[in-house]
């Protein structure tokens, strides 16, 4: 089965249906010790270098060039120039489902056409298990950190639906006390221990914005997935995303919001709008290179916990 | 019970005995001198090293600042804590805070660059500022490159006093970008003892500014009050 690198959310059901297996190249970044030579955002700069130096083994790469960032667009081209077969995938900003459907057909052509259409249903059902797990997390039945580890891996379903299913079924249910209920929005933190650190400081992360997008969308054929994925919030206008967030935060009974931003990432510019529009205490943090959560960030988390206790 | 603030550059100890506030200050490395003979159960710690020093309870500088400032000014809107290595802005009304610890241009370290260049003690900067007749524009936002700009202004004929005043204004401008719109603003931290910098900040903000009698011990006091 061909291993297909993806740089952001690309419908994994389509990749599996084309008898290929997705591999989210971002999964390698938080544990990486690389210091990329020419970087803006460390996420894209590191996968770019690892792909060019063949430290991540893939047959082809799908770069999300519309609905992600221009850093990915440029770094993806560098990977393409190094000889990796690359496809550029664009989400519509206006949510046009027909446009997205045409994009998905082009992607299907790039992957050699659909050979196993049953995979659409199989992956959709797997994602429902992910959604159940997410619900159990915000209802205090599953450890937030453990749930995050599964949710973040649902962009590529660990490259193997069976492995992903086993990972979900291995999670044990407990009664978890959720003191300060926190939503983590923005791109995922680049620090591999971030959720554990937050939990050790009594901040229970019960919503991870981007991983939730990974399990939220699906469908049984290209037409259906186009009509669902066109509402992928990161690709849509900020107002659309904020409306969606407000509903999720309310549903999860959130006490405060952590907005993680990445150095040199355009999402940083959204911070002032998010702070203005979301009626919750908001902690903004900014990361740069991967590794353990730095002490300065821990101070902010600790102070945020104290602030939530005051409110 | 004592409040102990061990920060990046200095350590402060505060006690309240029979209603009278007493304090001691030393360098961070010598914090042990402040707790000599004191049981750790008697210590409420704060500052960068809050969890590294013995303590009964610890609290972040953000919460400590709120409790410390309220001791003097109960209805303040915003606290600006200008420390040696970072600047914190706490919006008490919204229960929000911001910390700049990535860029030296808005921290005490920036003024140390200036003092070092002129081979002055930090405390002399404020006094020299008062003798400035003109204030040159210093626009660079990077602490290191602002020094180059400062040298250019010396070459252009501005006096040492005027260039120092220009640096205080550049410093204050940088901090003012972090401060939300508010009526009552308290300034704390050792850097606030520099009257030139405070004057520059007042010029820029044009709001009611409150400064406690010993601005550098507020977090130690706040740690103590937090637990009391």
The domains of chain B are located at: 1-73+213-228, 76-211
pLDDT at B148: 87
- What is the arithmetic mean of pLDDT over B26-42? 95
pLDDT band at B101 (very low <50, low <70, confident <90, very high): confident
User: Would you put residue B189 in left (φ > 0), alpha (ψ -120 to 50) or beta?
Assistant: left
Q: Is B62–A281 a contact, with Cβ atoms under 8 angstroms apart? A: no
How far is B48 from chain A, CA to nearest CA, in Å? 8
| More confident call, B143 vs B35 | B35
Report the percentage of chain A scoring pLDDT > 90: 92
End-to-end Cα, chain A, rounded Å: 53
Average pLDDT rounded to a whole number, residues B28-34: 95
- Tokens 């706490």 found at: B90
Question: Are A307 and B63 a contacting pair at CB < 8 A?
Answer: yes
Rounded CA gap, A62 and B179, in Å? 43
Confidence band, pLDDT 50/70/90 cuts, at residue A194: very high
Residues of A in contact with B99 (CB under 8 A): 296, 299-300
Mean pLDDT of B11-26: 95
Q: Could you tell me which chain B residue has the CA closest to the CA of A295?
A: B48
Number of neighbouring beta carbons within 10 Å of residue B49: 17
CATH of the domain spanning B1-73+213-228, picked from 3.30.420.40, 3.20.20.120, 3.90.550.10, 3.40.50.720: 3.30.420.40
Tokens of A75: 């770094």
CB contacts of A310 in chain B (<8 Å) are 63, 95
| Closest among B86, B48, B24, B63 to B32, alpha carbons compared | B24
Q: How confident is the model at residue B185 (pLDDT cuts 50, 70, 90)?
A: very high
Tell me, what DSSP letter sits at residue A291? B
* Nearest CA-CA partner of B91 in B190, B8, B172, B183: B183
Residues A123/A155, Cβ–Cβ less than 8 Å: no
CB atoms within 10 A of CB A304: 27
Candidates 3.40.640.10, 3.30.1540.20, 3.40.50.11900, 3.30.565.10; CATH matching A175-310: 3.40.50.11900
Give the tens place of pLDDT for each residue, A243-275.
999 999 999 999 999 999 999 988 889 999 999
Shortest distance between the Cα of B92 and any Cα of chain A, in A, equals 10
**CB B102 to CB A300 under 8 A?**
no
Show the DSSP H helices in chain B as ranges: 61-72, 108-117, 122-129, 143-155, 160-176, 195-205, 218-227
Question: What string of DSSP letters covers B155-197?
Answer: HTT--HHHHHHHHHHHHHHHHHTTPPS-SEEEEESGGGG-HHH
Chain A residues touching residue B48 (CB < 8 angstroms): 295, 299
Residues of A with CB under 8 A from a CB of B: 275, 281-282, 284, 286, 295-296, 299-300, 302-303, 306-307, 310-311
Sign of CA pseudo-dihedral A306, B86, B221, B94: negative
Q: Name residues whose C-beta falls within 8 Å of residue A5's C-beta, 6 or more positions apart in sequence.
A: A22, A23, A24, A25, A51, A56, A58, A60, A61, A62, A84
The listed CATH number (3.40.80.10, 3.30.420.40, 1.20.1050.10, 3.40.190.100) that belongs to domain B76-211? 3.30.420.40
How far is it, in rounded angstroms, from Cα B152 to Cα A183?
Answer: 49
Domain A2-110 - what CATH class? Answer: alpha beta
| Same topology between domain B1-73+213-228 and domain B76-211 | yes
Mutate to test the interface with B, among A306, A308, A310, A311 (most CBs of B within 10 A): A306
Q: Establish if B95 touches chain A: CB-CB under 8 angstroms.
A: yes
The answer, yes or no, to whether residue A48 has pLDDT greater than 70, is yes
- Mean pLDDT rounded to a whole number for chain A: 95
Q: CB–CB of B97 and A299 under 8 A?
A: no
The answer, yes or no, to whether residue B13 has pLDDT greater than 90, is: yes
Contact B109, B143 (CB under 8 A): yes
User: Which among A107, A136, A116, A297 is positioned nearest to A220, based on CA atoms?
Assistant: A116
Determine, for residues B96 and A300 on separate chains, whether the beta-carbon distance falls below 8 Å. Answer: no
- State the CB neighbour count (10 A cutoff) for residue A40: 18
Question: How would you classify the pairing of strands A20-24 and A2-6?
Answer: parallel
- CB within 8 A of A270, min separation 6: which ones? A186, A238
Per the DSSP assignment, residues forming a β-bridge with B99 are B88
CB contact under 8 A, A310 and B98: no
Question: Contact A303/B61, CB-based, under 8 Å?
Answer: yes
One-letter-per-residue 3-state SS of B40-61: HHHEEEECCCCCCCCCCEECCH
Q: Report the C-alpha gap between B220 and B67 in whole angstroms.
A: 10
Q: Across all residues in chain B, what is the average pLDDT?
A: 92
Measured between CA atoms, the residue of chain B closest to residue A302 is: B60
Question: Cβ neighbours of residue B215 under 8 Å, at least 6 residues apart?
Answer: B187, B188, B189, B190, B192, B193
Nearest CA in chain A to B180: A272
Confidence at residue B141, expressed as pLDDT on a 0 to 100 scale: 66
Which residues of chain A are in CATH 3.40.50.11890 domains?
A: 2-110
Q: How confident is the model at residue B8 (pLDDT cuts 50, 70, 90)?
A: confident
By C-alpha distance, which of B179, B116, B185 is closest to B144? B116
Instruction: Give CATH 3.40.50.11900 domain extents, chain A.
Output: 175-310
């Amino acid at each position: 089965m061909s291993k297909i690198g993806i740089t952001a959310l690309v419908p994994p059901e389509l990749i599996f249906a084309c008898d290929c297996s997705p591999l989210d190249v971002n999964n390698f970044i938080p544990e990486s010790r690389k210091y990329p030579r020419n970087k803006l955002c460390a996420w894209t700069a590191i996968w770019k270098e690892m792909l060019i130096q063949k430290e991540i083994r893939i047959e082809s790469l799908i770069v999300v060039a519309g609905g992600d960032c221009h850093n990915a667009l440029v770094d993806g081209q560098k990977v393409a120039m190094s000889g990796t077969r690359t496809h550029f995938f664009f989400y519509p900003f206006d949510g046009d489902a027909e446009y997205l459907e045409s994009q998905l057909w082009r992607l299907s052509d790039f992957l050699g056409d659909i050979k196993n259409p049953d995979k659409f249903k199989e992956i959709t059902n797997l994602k429902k298990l992910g959604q159940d797990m997410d619900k159990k997390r915000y209802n205090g039945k599953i450890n937030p950190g453990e749930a995050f580890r599964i949710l973040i891996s649902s962009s590529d379903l660990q490259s193997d639906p069976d492995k992903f299913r086993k990972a979900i079924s291995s999670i044990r249910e407990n009664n978890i006390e959720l003191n300060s209920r926190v939503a983590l929005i923005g791109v995922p933190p680049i620090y591999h221990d971030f959720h554990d650190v937050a939990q050790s400081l009594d901040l229970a992360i019960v919503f991870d914005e981007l991983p939730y997008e990974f399990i939220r969308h699906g469908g049984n054929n290209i037409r259906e997935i186009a009509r669902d994925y066109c509402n992928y919030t990161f690709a849509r206008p900020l107002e659309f995303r904020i409306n969606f967030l407000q509903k999720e935060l309310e549903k999860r009974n959130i006490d405060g919001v952590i907005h993680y931003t990445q150095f040199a990432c355009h999402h940083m510019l959204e911070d002032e709008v998010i702070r203005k529009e979301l009626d919750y205490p908001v902690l903004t943090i900014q990361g740069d290179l991967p590794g353990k959560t730095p002490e300065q960030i821990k101070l902010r988390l600790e102070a945020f916990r104290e602030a939530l206790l005051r409110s | 019970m004592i409040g102990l603030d061990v920060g990046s550059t200095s350590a402060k100890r505060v006690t309240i005995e029979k209603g009278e506030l007493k304090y001691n200050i030393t360098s961070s490395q010598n914090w042990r001198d402040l707790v000599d003979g004191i049981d750790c159960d008697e210590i409420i710690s704060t500052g960068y090293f809050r969890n590294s020093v013995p303590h009964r309870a610890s609290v972040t500088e953000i919460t400590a600042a709120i409790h410390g400032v309220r001791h003097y000014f109960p209805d303040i809107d915003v606290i600006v804590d200008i420390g040696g290595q970072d600047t914190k802005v706490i919006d008490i009304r919204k229960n929000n805070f911001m910390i700049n610890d990535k860029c030296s241009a808005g921290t005490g370290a920036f003024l140390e660059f200036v003092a070092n260049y002129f081979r002055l003690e930090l405390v002399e900067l404020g006094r020299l500022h008062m003798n400035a007749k003109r204030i040159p524009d210093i626009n660079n936002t990077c602490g290191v490159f602002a020094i180059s700009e400062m040298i250019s202004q010396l070459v252009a004929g501005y006096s040492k006093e005027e260039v120092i005043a220009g640096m205080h204004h550049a410093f204050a401008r940088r901090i003012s970008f972090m401060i939300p719109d508010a009526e009552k603003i308290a300034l704390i931290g050792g850097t606030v003892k520099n009257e030139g910098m405070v004057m520059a900040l007042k010029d820029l903000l044009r709001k009611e500014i409150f400064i406690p009698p010993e601005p550098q011990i507020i977090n130690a006091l706040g740690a103590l009050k937090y637990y009391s």
